[in-house]
Chain A
């Protein structure tokens, strides 16, 4: 089993829809959970990160972690065409310098 699993999509939604993006992970010791956004032909940029279980909200974006089921989610409310990008979940296996483990990324298209 891979450490981080993410459905690559693609996912296409109409403008204004609520989007749900998800990842599962295998190691219960993971503590930090991140979401990166990658626009076409650009490098990933950090969108949000959370520590342990619970929710974190930033504008239209909400990150949710359920450690009991090893499941992380990113919700986008009132989605906009500018949200069209690939969303990658990323988890550091341990704290400090340990390289991140990335999911495959989900490609999202928001249609005006």
Chain B
């Protein structure tokens, strides 16, 4: 089945040790998003790509970077994780373009623990 796959599902890292989370999609969607979700909070958008066009939310910390080497893959790099970065990180995709509802397909998420 076409889907959005995130790896790893669970990541434990030490304070300050860089982490990379990956997302792949077989939907051939143009738009990919990275959200951060903390307990009992709404998903918070970090970045999104429309094709290769990168869009950084104004309040996304510089500690977070993203790469999209091709249509299928997108990476989230956390350069120096702090305790406050412990969260679920969600990747989502949508076809993009045109009018109408912007329906997102989410991956299962990567849960990051920072020790």
Q: Give the residue among B40, B96, B102 with the most A Cβ atoms within 10 A.
A: B102
Q: Given A41-B111, A104-B42, does the pair A32, B94 have CB atoms closer than 8 Å?
A: no
Question: Please, how many residues of chain A have a CB less than 8 angstroms from a CB on the other chain?
Answer: 27
A residues 24-83 touching B (CB-CB < 8 Å): 32, 34, 36, 41-46, 49, 51
Q: Given A41-B109, A41-B111, does the pair A100, B41 have CB atoms closer than 8 Å?
A: no
Chain A residues with CB under 8 Å of chain B are 4, 6, 8, 32, 34, 36, 41-46, 49, 51, 88, 92, 95-100, 102-105, 107
Complex A-B, nearest 8 residue pairs according to Cβ-Cβ distance, in ascending order = A43-B106, A102-B42, A92-B102, A95-B99, A32-B101, A104-B42, A97-B96, A43-B109
Chain A to chain B contacts (Cβ below 8 Å), 29 pairs: A6-B42, A32-B100, A32-B102, A41-B88, A41-B108, A42-B108, A43-B106, A44-B43, A44-B90, A44-B104, A44-B106, A46-B104, A46-B105, A49-B101, A51-B101, A92-B102, A95-B100, A95-B101, A96-B98, A96-B99, A96-B100, A96-B102, A97-B48, A97-B97, A99-B102, A100-B104, A102-B43, A105-B40, A107-B40
